[in-house]
Amino acid sequence: THQWRGIIEEYRDRLPVTDTTPVVTLREGGTPLVPAQVLSERTGCEVHLKVEGANPTGSFKDRGMTMAITRAKEEGAKAVICASTGNTSASAAAYAVRAGMVSAVLVPQGKIALGKMGQALVHGAKILQVDGNFDDCLTLARSLSENYPVALVNSVNPVRIEGQKTAAFEIVDMLGDAPDIHVLPVGNAGNITAYWKGYTEYAADGMATHRPRMWGFQASGSAPLVRGEVVKDPSTIATAIRIGNPASWQYAIAARDESGGFIDEVTDREILRAYRLLAAQEGVFVEPASAASVAGLLKAAEQGKVDPGQRIVCTVTGNGLKDPDWAVAGAPQPVTVPVDAAAAAERLGLA
């Protein structure tokens, strides 16, 4: 009966909770760190995937949400609100149910994956589709939380970052030290901020001998950190990271510079290639935005930026079931056969 207890119980002394804090958890975290054979061969490195799609609502957001909803509960909030490209809203909706709270979510109209919309709906969130992009949704959510009795649970809420930093702890605990390089997709830039904080705290306490270089990747049509300016009309098939004005901009730049890393872009085509490689060759089904980390690693390797022999962790942030359209699109239609072994065998190329 040794079940993982969720990130707050597992890392209690490193998180802003007290003995009386009412912990709201779905036992998030404790996600698999999976050795990636094909990526290791391609890069000459030891590559691991931190599979965050294995969290209770299917993305890394649960790490931050257990903290955000726990603290909102502690402070007596009755309702929470967030802006989201889909995963934050799914997570907020689920954790609000656990806490007995009402959740309200603001999503960009027509730009969130169906699986994520289904999650928010089935968990009973109040959903508003905003006639605008994620950045507009966040502006609206901030304004509502400042003027009405509703707590903001986006990653501009610092306790979200506290929860998400535990992924770095888990990686160091598993590997026995920090990796040499950590690769992440970057959207609103909360997660790269959180990992850097986690690695920094662990190294400061002697839990790791060093900190990794942080490599972040944005989608080319939504790459404000690469361009150095806000992108007014962000576009990419990776809807989760379709963000033109990341809230944690300065923290992401600090993580990049303090770690000696970089933030670059990958095209939608590169994202989809990595998405298919992960599923077809590593057996790991992620959503398109998650594949940006792996697309970036492969791009860097092709550019000769990856010295062999290093230990590299790529975070794959969300489950492929969230957005299966891209798995089905362009794939051959399954054939229909009668209930007949000979016909089935022939179709399968067994006969």
Query: Which residues form the interface with ligand F0G (CB under 6 A)?
Result: 59, 61, 84-88, 155, 185-191, 240-241, 287, 289-290, 317-318
Of 46 and 200, the one with the shorter C-beta distance to ligand F0G is 200
For 145-162, give one letter per residue: b (16+ CB within 10 A) or e.
beeeebbbbbbbbebbbb
Smaller CB separation from ligand F0G, 43 or 245: 245
Q: To the nearest whole angstrom, how small is the minimum distance from the Cβ of residue 148 to ligand F0G?
A: 20
**Minimum Å distance from CB 172 to ligand F0G?**
20
CB nearer to ligand F0G: give 46 or 85: 85
Q: Tell me, rounded to whole angstroms, the distance of Cα 144 from its chain centroid.
A: 25
Q: Kindly tell me which of 39 and 161 has the beta carbon lying closer to ligand F0G.
A: 161
The minimum distance between CB 3 and ligand F0G, in angstroms, equals 25
Residue with smaller CB distance to ligand F0G, 6 or 190? 190
Which runs of consecutive H residues, i.e. helices, occur in the chain? 7-10, 37-43, 61-74, 87-99, 114-122, 134-147, 158-164, 166-175, 190-204, 224-227, 249-259, 268-277, 291-302, 325-328, 341-347
Bridge partners for 285 per DSSP: none
Cα(77)–Cα(56) distance, integer angstroms: 23
Which two three-digit tokens encode residue 241?
Answer: 């990271």
Strand 181-185 with 311-316, pairing: parallel
CB of 289 vs ligand F0G, minimal distance in Å: 4
Strands 151-152 and 79-83: parallel
Using CA atoms, how far residue 305 sits from 214, 286, 325, in Å, is: 13, 25, 33
Shortest Cβ 84–ligand F0G spacing (Å): 3
Minimal CA–CA distance to 124: which of 153, 104, 99?
104
Supply the minimum distance, in Å, between the C-beta of residue 47 and ligand F0G. 18
Q: Which is nearer to ligand F0G, 70 or 119 (CB)?
A: 119
Minimum distance of ligand F0G from residue 26's CB (angstroms)? 16
Closest CB to ligand F0G among 15 and 194?
A: 194
Kindly tell me which of 190 and 261 has the beta carbon lying closer to ligand F0G.
190
| Shortest Cβ 93–ligand F0G spacing (Å) | 12
DSSP structure string for 56-114:
TTSBTHHHHHHHHHHHHHHTT-SEEEEE-SSHHHHHHHHHHHHHT-EEEEEEETT-S-H
Spatial contact of 209 and 177, defined as CB atoms under 8 Å apart: yes
